[in-house]
Each structure stands twice: as C-alpha cells, then as structure tokens.
Amino acid sequence: MGHAIVIGAGITGVTTAYALLRRGHAVTVLERHPYAALETSFANGGQLSASNAEVWNQWSNVAHGLRWIFTRSAPLLLNPKPSWHKMSWLAEFIGQIRRYEENTVETVRLAIEARRHLFEIAAREGIAFDLEKRGLMHVYRDSASFAHAAKVNALLKRGGLEREPVTPEEIRTIEPTLDGTFHGGFFTPRDASGDICRFTRGLAQACARLGGRFVHGVEVGAIREAEGGRVVEWQGVDDAQAKGALAADQVVICAGVGSRQIAALVGERLNVYPVKGYSITVAVKPEDVDRAPRVALLDDAAKIVTSRLGDTRFRVAGTAELNGYNRDVRADRIAPLVDWTRRHFPKLDTSDVAVWAGLRPMLPGMLPRVGASRRARNV
C-alpha cells in the first residue's frame, strides 16, 4: 500500500490521514504546531451544515465588498491595498459567478456526504465533541431576503437537501431563547453542530491507534522528486538548525492557507486565499443554561453563525475579511459579534467571552480541490 505523508494536522489533514490508514497505508502527518487543530480548525462556527452551501460568487457580494470598503464593522471587509495574490483571487472569484448555480449544487452534495461521514466516524471512534443533532435554522428579517433564500433553497434541494421554510411563530417554537422580529426562516433538521477542535484531536488519537505517526513542530520547506515517490524536507519551528527529510510514495497537501505555498514547491498552482473570520465563545453560567440556544443558528444578513457547545459554551462566529495572512484579533471586528449576541439573547450573561480569529482557506470557486496534481507526480 505504501507510505503517505500528509502535510497539515487540521481537520482536512487528520480526516485524510484517517481515511488512508483505514485503506491500509502507512501514514505520517507533518505539522508545524505542537498540537493538531491549532489554526483554522481551532474555534470556528462549529456548524456541520449542508444548508450553508450557497457559494459566495455573486455580484451582490462584490457590490457589498465595494460599498463596505471603509466600514470597519461590516460583515464583509476588503482591504483595498492591492497584492497580486488578492487581485488574482478576486478576478477568479468574479470569473466563477457564472458557475454560481452548479457550484452551489455541487457544494451541497459534498456537504451532505461530509456530514454523513463525520457522524459515522465520530460514532465508530467514540469521539466526544459536544455534538448537538438538533438542526440548523436560518433566519431572515425582511421579505426580500426571505424571497432570495427561497430561490437558494430550490438549489439546495436540487443537491438533495431536506430543508423547509418556517414562520415567525415556528422560529419561536424551534428556538425559544432567540429574541428578535423575523419575517421567516428555513430549518434543516439534519444539520448539527460540534467542536471542531475536539473532533480533530479525538480523530488524531484514533489515527495514532491505527498506527499513524504525527510529527509536530516541523515546517515543510521543500518537496523533492525521488525514485518512485517524493522526499519531503522540513526544519524545526523552534530550532531552525534541526532539519530532516522523509521519503514517501505519495504526498497529500492539507495545509490550509499554507497550501498555496506548498503546492508551488511542486510547480502546482493552488490559488487559496486566506479569508479571515472571527469567533467569540461565551462561557455559559449554570444559571444561564436555558438562556442560550441549542439549535444551530444562521443570521444571513449579519453573516453570523452560532453553535451551542455542551452546557457551558456558546460559540458565535462570522465576518469575512480579505486582508492577507494577518491574524490579529481586532476589537472593532469582535464588537459586532458581542453586540449581536446581546441583542438576540438579552438574558444571557456575556461577561466572560474568549475571542479568536482564523483564516479560511478558500479557492475562488469555493469548492475544495481533491485529486492528483496536474503537474507533479505522487502529489
């Protein structure tokens, strides 16, 4: 079966390693951080959602990006400073607008499969990750956005999703803790939520039980061609003098926003752009246990998603920022998440909140690239 090297121990790398191990490969995962899931797979929105599969490639989003360019609290923020990476990505993003419908249908198909696999893996390996299988509800405040959502729903249904409209009264029944005036919503009963970091680390342990090897604290810097395979070269993150090389039959690049640079090492173009987002995790006090929602929520206008992580945590995430690899947690980008939480859950104590920023690895058409390199063998 041979030896495969997986670069990156986020959710993509660890699920890939697990799939390869179960097919009988020997697997080594190389990761620059000391633990799995320390980058984008650390504190995301927590939604296991097929209902959030609408791709962003629409003229309305381009218009929003331009209109909000100087609004620091806007859900979508484009740093106007040009770079070749950003400009080429935006040009390709616009080029994909004509594929909006087919890419949305393809994304929902993939998401339904991914959701099914994830539930199966968690059950098989006994991974505890605060899974809440209580569905996901999109909410809309006006008739125009609800009408657009109905059109999107037709596409999602074409991809096989079970999702129905709900009235304002039904919104209150489905999630009684949610305060606000809504025109309507859509409910997806099979969507769920959970803690991506706990899932990824639990699965990394399962990989180790299956014989997988994890090498942490190493930064991959070169991938050479070798007889019948590849040699991957790395250096220590804490000690640049520590260098090593490992041979493999196959190399799989799962390096998140680092994938563009790593693909370039083998002459492959992978135009992944880091689309920054933020999350807050509210510590839910024992007296507030029934004041935060259990159903996963998505407020389309605010571009905010929420997940309940067990009794003690409530995650609220959102915003998209095109600002290169900058990982700073900005107060003016966190404030809208806290304000939104206070507005919609006025009885919930928000005095203890952990903040985080992460970089979504995004290709211009929003679909992942899965498959063999077109230019490099064994990658």
Tokens for 308?
């309940």
In the list 5, 8, 272, 284, the residue contacting ligand FAD (rule: CB under 6 A) is 8
Cβ atoms of 315 and 281 within 8 Å: the answer is yes
Burial of 197 (C-beta count, 10 Å sphere; 0-12/13-18/19+) = buried
CB proximity list for 164: less than 8 A, separation 6 or greater: 186, 187
Cβ atoms of 298 and 305 within 8 Å: the answer is yes
Task: Say whether residue 149 binds ligand FAD (CB under 6 A).
Answer: no
Per-residue mark of binding to ligand FAD, 220-239 (x: CB under 6 A): x-------------------
Task: Say whether residue 341 binds ligand FAD (CB under 6 A).
Answer: no
Task: Say whether residue 175 binds ligand FAD (CB under 6 A).
Answer: no
Tokens for 150?
């109905």
| Residue 282 CB, nearest approach to ligand FAD (Å) | 15
In 3D space, the residue among 224, 225, 244 whose CA is nearest the CA of residue 234 turns out to be 244
Q: How many residues contact ligand FAD, by CB under 6 A?
A: 34
Task: Say whether residue 349 binds ligand FAD (CB under 6 A).
Answer: no
Q: Which residue is nearest to ligand FAD (CB)?
A: 10
- Count, residues in the chain: 379
Task: Say whether residue 365 binds ligand FAD (CB under 6 A).
Answer: no
Rounded to the nearest 5°, which phi and psi values hold at 160?
105, 10
In 3D space, the residue among 95, 99, 93, 60 whose CA is nearest the CA of residue 76 turns out to be 60
CA distance 307 to 289: 14
Task: Say whether residue 30 binds ligand FAD (CB under 6 A).
Answer: yes
Task: Say whether residue 115 binds ligand FAD (CB under 6 A).
Answer: no
CA distance 358 to 42: 8
| Residue 302 CB, nearest approach to ligand FAD (Å) | 13
β-strand pairing of 313-322 with 229-236: unpaired
For residues 279 and 341, which CB has a smaller minimum distance to ligand FAD in the complex? 279
Task: Say whether residue 336 binds ligand FAD (CB under 6 A).
Answer: no
For residues 11 and 20, which CB has a smaller minimum distance to ligand FAD in the complex? 11
Q: Among residue numbers 42 through 81, which ones bind ligand FAD (CB under 6 A)?
A: 44-47
For residues 105 and 337, which CB has a smaller minimum distance to ligand FAD in the complex? 337
| Residue 48 CB, nearest approach to ligand FAD (Å) | 7
Task: Say whether residue 366 binds ligand FAD (CB under 6 A).
Answer: no
| Residue 287 CB, nearest approach to ligand FAD (Å) | 27
Task: Say whether residue 12 binds ligand FAD (CB under 6 A).
Answer: yes
Identity at 238, one-letter amino acid code: D
Quick one: DSSP state of residue 310?
Answer: T
CA distance 367 to 57: 11
Task: Say whether residue 11 binds ligand FAD (CB under 6 A).
Answer: yes
In the list 33, 115, 141, 294, the residue contacting ligand FAD (rule: CB under 6 A) is 33
Q: Among residue numbers 303 through 322, which ones bind ligand FAD (CB under 6 A)?
A: 305, 317
In the list 75, 194, 293, 358, the residue contacting ligand FAD (rule: CB under 6 A) is 358
Q: How far is CA 210 from CA 13, 149, 307, in A?
A: 15, 44, 31
CA distance 227 to 221: 20
Q: Give bridge partners of residue 233 from the DSSP assignment.
A: 222, 245
For residues 33 and 158, which CB has a smaller minimum distance to ligand FAD in the complex? 33
In the list 184, 212, 361, 365, the residue contacting ligand FAD (rule: CB under 6 A) is 361
For residues 171 and 220, which CB has a smaller minimum distance to ligand FAD in the complex? 220
In the three-class reduction of DSSP (H, G, I as helix; E, B as strand; rest coil), residue 365 is classed as: coil
Task: Say whether residue 39 binds ligand FAD (CB under 6 A).
Answer: yes
Q: Give bridge partners of residue 315 from the DSSP assignment.
A: 281, 307
Question: What residue ranges bind ligand FAD (CB under 6 A)?
Answer: 7-13, 30-33, 38-41, 44-47, 219-220, 254-256, 258, 262, 277-279, 305, 317, 358, 360-361
